[in-house]
Amino acid sequence: MESTMMDIPLTVTSIMRYGTTAFAGKEVVTCTGDAPPRRRTYAALGERTARLANALRSLGVDGDQRVGTFMWNNAEHLEAYYAIPSMGAVLHTLNIRLSPDQVGYIATHAGDHAVIVDASLVPLFAKVLPLADTVKHVIVSGPADAAAVRSLAESGRAVHLYEELLDDAPASFDWPDLDERSAAAMCYTSGTTGLPKGVVYSHRSMYLHSMGACLGNAFAMSEQDRILPVVPQFHANAWGLAYAALMSGADLVMPDRYMTPAAIVGLIENEKVTVGAGVPTIWQGVLAHLRAVGGDISSLRTLVCGGSALPESVMRAYADEFGLVMTHAWGMTETSPLGSIAHEPAGVTGEAVWEYRTSQGRLFCTIEGRLGGDDGEILPSDGKTAGEIEVRGPWVTGSYYRDSAPEKFHDGWLRTGDVGTLDAAGFVRLTDRAKDVIKSGGEWISSMELENLLMAHPSVAEAAVIGVPDEKWGERPLAAVVLRQDAGPVTPDELRAFLSDRIPRWQLPERWSFIDEVPKTSVGKFKKTTLREQYAAGQLDVIKLAPAPH
């Protein structure tokens, strides 16, 4: 028996049409630094999206050609988010924080036909262009320096000004009927080892993911909200918030290049932001600013944090000092990225809530999870047994673009590379990345747990823990610590004593190093490969203590 339901494709186009008409008066606000922010209604966004689609069509963009973006979070980037997939092409967000050779490789591997570049990033993109063989057109968005634009033209590529293209383009576009399973966007992983891998999202996966973000068990987005995506638009489609906002009617507040703690607090205060989204380092910086300078963040109902584990001390500080419950989320480029959301179950109160808030949360509706063992066996989801998290679902990638990578998949499930536990109710608690687990004397030590405990010390701003070779135990932990600027002298003995009541004594690090900053990836995650390289090269000033008595 067949259903009687209409078969209407789930597409980005339908989100765009709905958001720019049903919520025509809502707005996207773009920060401009010291000047008043730029404001654009969703109705105007819809018209400019059509103009951009016409402009791209005039440059030969048709079918499923890739159009790259090399931009900040702003209104023009949002226009590209909608115009490119809706016209049947593929949006490809390029990471502005990678090296030119990495961006050049990614743009060439993806086959980008054109790239939209923010004017402020033209000097940086000029270094990329000679390495991006497939790019035929460069479109410069924003007030551009003439000499900088000429430098792009010297590459032999056609260079255009964004606003001039839109001015010359019709204000309506004949949006094609698209297959919901066709490609809508692509993003490359920001892995710290090996070449980046391309993940290609379908219209269907992005539509379902957007609906998921709006649900009450996720971020409960509605037209009452004003969303601040500090997470870059080149990072897993800004966690899908740009699409969920138009679907739900929420306003968008875009930080552009102004992402200092002071600028973020100013945006929250002046624009009455209700939901902010960013990686832990962002919210740690904002917390330090609020403590030092002050600011009004009372409009917020939550701060979403993902990308890496958020220290419990930071979550408790926001709760105790500002009455704000942070929302911990887990996912990756391969999961679009929402995989799980940390809300305590109904009826859980008091201190018991922290067991859930500090976890990675419950696996999201439609996302299935299981635990994989070293030999490919499936381990029990009992909340105690640790293994590699494997997932599958309608917005989880089943392959990589032009890269089979069989080691990343297991019987149709994605191997996430994250190690942790999974319980019967679907709650995930990560203990480490598979490559970061410290194997000492046949036992596992969680570098993530050590880091979170160290960052709870009042004098510690950041801490990263890596495994280093040890003649007796195979590997032992080395703690690289960044002290707060206002901290007095702190010794390794003091920090180890702080840890001693919180973990088994055999897990206490003997090796310590005080550093100015933890190396980070382009999206703010700790880049432990750099620390390992620095240690191997003797570039870290390491203090070695006697092993703690067991």
From the candidates 334, 344, 390, 449, which is the catalytic residue?
334
Give me the count of residues in the chain: 550
- 208 neighbors 91 (Cβ within 8 angstroms): no
Which two structure tokens, joined as six digits, stand for 439?
A: 């194997």
Q: Which of 11, 30, 69, 189 is catalytic?
A: 189
Nearest to 79 by CA among 163, 174, 186: 163
In degrees, rounded to 5, the angle at the alpha carbon of residue 28 between the alpha carbons of residues 24 and 32 is 150
Q: Are 452 and 312 in contact (CB under 8 A)?
A: yes
Beta bridge partners of 363: 340
- Two tokens, residue 102: 């990495």
Whether omega for the bond prior to residue 406 falls within 30 degrees of 0, making it cis, is: no
- Would you state the structure tokens that stand for residue 543, as one six-digit string? 């203090």
Helices assigned H by DSSP within 323-394 = 353-357
Q: Which DSSP state fits 350?
A: G
> CA geometry: angle at 246 spanning 245 and 252, to 5°?
50
444 flagged as catalytic: yes
- Ranges of H-type helices in 176-231: 203-214
Cα–Cα distances (Å) from 271 to 213, 259, 276, 406, 407, in that order, read 22, 15, 12, 47, 46
What per-residue string of b and e applies to 403-430 under the rule 16 or more CB within 10 Å gives b? eeeeebbbeebbbbbbbbbbbeebbbbb
Instruction: Identify the CA nearest to 417 among candidates 339, 341, 351.
Output: 339
| Residue among 108, 444, 520, 529 flagged as catalytic | 444
471 noted as active-site residue: no
Of the residues 439, 491, 494, 533, which is catalytic? 439
Q: Mark whether 334 is an active-site residue.
A: yes
Tell me, letter by letter, the H, E, C secondary structure of 244-310. HHHHHCCEEEECECCCCHHHHHHHHHHHCCCEEEECHHHHHHHHHHHHHCCCCCCCCCEEEECCCCC
354 catalytic per annotation? no
State the distance between the two ends of the chain, measured CA to CA, in whole angstroms: 67
Catalytic residues: 189, 334, 439, 444
